[in-house]
Amino acid sequence: MRSPYCYIALDRCIQYQRKYNLTLELRPVWPIAIRDSSWFQAAKDMKYRLPYQDVDSFRCAAFHGVQMRYPVPDPVTQEAADDSPYGRILPFEEQPDIQFLTRTACAAAEMGKGWEYLNMVMRLVWDGETRPWNQDNYKWVKRAIDQAGIDSETLVKDVTNNPQKWDDIASKNNEDQADNTCHHTGVPLFLFKGEPFFGQDRMDVLMFRLKQHGLTERAKI
């Protein structure tokens, strides 16, 4: 929900599933800034990493025809820090936005509506048309959930009443990456027959491999 590269991959994930006899099983994870709050310090030490990401992510978005602006506010809440231009990540208990997005994404995925959810909600957060995207107790996010064909009142009530259930699912998805089954812990990450394809720039290679294993186009109606 926070990765620009996941957002850049979104359109192709949806288009490929419409064009081919293909189902991508969605497994939302916590952002690395939530899993490891020292990440910004490491990024500061690698002084070219974040400036390069700024250039590359918008370049890739333009290449793929994706409208993108960094979310306002950032789904991961930070505060200013004297020793870092990137600030300090607040504790998990003070992260309502990424909690809300990740929990509702997990809940939508569990009900088989994950891609419909992302198509509306992730686009709302990342396309820059709605700022701030989290205003008025997430009213725009709730509307986007409804537009995805999901009853937002029911979904939000579930994640509000059972937060630990959805936190555990997101954490389990992270653990499945970290246990070496996926051989990678970044996002977006695609896994097919134990073979990882990391990054939106490996999607063509993923499709190449799937076609080697018999992937066919859906019949045109």
Architecture of domain 4-212: 3-Layer(aba) Sandwich (3.40)
Contact between 137 and 160 (Cβ < 8 Å) = no
What's the pLDDT tens digit per position in 66-92? Answer: 999 999 999 999 888 777 666 788 999
Which has the higher per-residue pLDDT, 47 or 106? 106
Orientation angle between helical segments 4-19 and 114-126, nearest 10 degrees: 140
Written as six digits, the tokens of 71 are 């979310």
Q: Please tell me the distance from the alpha carbon of residue 205 to that of residue 196, in angstroms, as a whole number.
A: 11
The length of the chain, given as a count of residues:
221
Supply φ then ψ for residue 84, to 5 degrees.
Answer: -155, 135
pTM of the complete model beyond 0.75:
yes
Sign of CA dihedral 68, 60, 103, 143: positive
Q: Which residues pair with 190 in a beta bridge?
A: 197
Find the range with the poorest average confidence among 2-11, 21-30, 53-62, 84-93: 84-93
- Quick one: pLDDT at residue 44? 65
201: exposed, middle or buried (Cβ count in 10 Å: 0-12, 13-18, 19+): middle
Which has the higher per-residue pLDDT, 81 or 172? 172
Written as six digits, the tokens of 22 are 């293909």
Whole-number percent of the chain with pLDDT over 90: 78
Residue 153: alpha-carbon gap to chain centroid:
22
Q: Would you call the peptide bond into 188 cis, given omega within 30 degrees of 0 as the criterion?
A: yes
